[in-house]
Amino acid sequence: MPVRRRTHDPVLVSAHRCGAGQDRELENTRPALDRALALAVDFVEFDVQRCADDTFVLYHDDEVDVGGRRTPLADLTVARVEQLVGPLLRYEEVLAALAGTRRAHIDLKLTSPSTAYTDPAGTHEVRAARRAVEVLGAENIIVTTLEDASVRAVRDWADGEGLDLLVGLSLGRSVKGLPVVRQLRTRWSELRPHLRLSGSRANLVVAKHTLARLGVAAYARRRGLPLLVWTVDTERSLRYWMRPGRAWLVTSNRPEVALRVRERSAARMAP
* CATH class of the domain defined by 13-203: alpha beta
Q: Say which amino acid occupies 188.
A: W
pLDDT digits (tens, 9 = 90+) for 218-260: 999 999 999 999 999 999 999 999 999 999 999 999 999 999 9
Q: Dihedral of CA 221/222/225/229: which sign?
A: negative
pLDDT for residue 7: 62
Length of the chain counted residue by residue: 271
Burial letters for 100-136: b for 16+ Cβ neighbours within 10 Å, e otherwise? Answer: eebbbbbbbbbbbeeebbeebeebbbbbbbbebbebb
pLDDT for residue 271: 63
pLDDT digits (tens, 9 = 90+) for 128-185: 999 999 999 999 999 999 999 999 999 999 999 999 999 999 999 777 777 888 888 8
User: Is pLDDT at 268 greater than 80 in this prediction?
Assistant: no
CB burial class (10 A; 0-12, 13-18, 19+) of residue 265?
middle
pLDDT digits (tens, 9 = 90+) for 186-205: 888 888 899 999 999 999 99
Q: What is the mean pLDDT of residues 84-90?
A: 96
Q: Are strands 166-171 and 141-145 parallel, antiparallel or unpaired?
A: parallel
pLDDT for residue 12: 98
User: Is pLDDT at 1 greater than 50 in this prediction?
Assistant: no
Q: Where are the domains of the chain?
A: 13-203
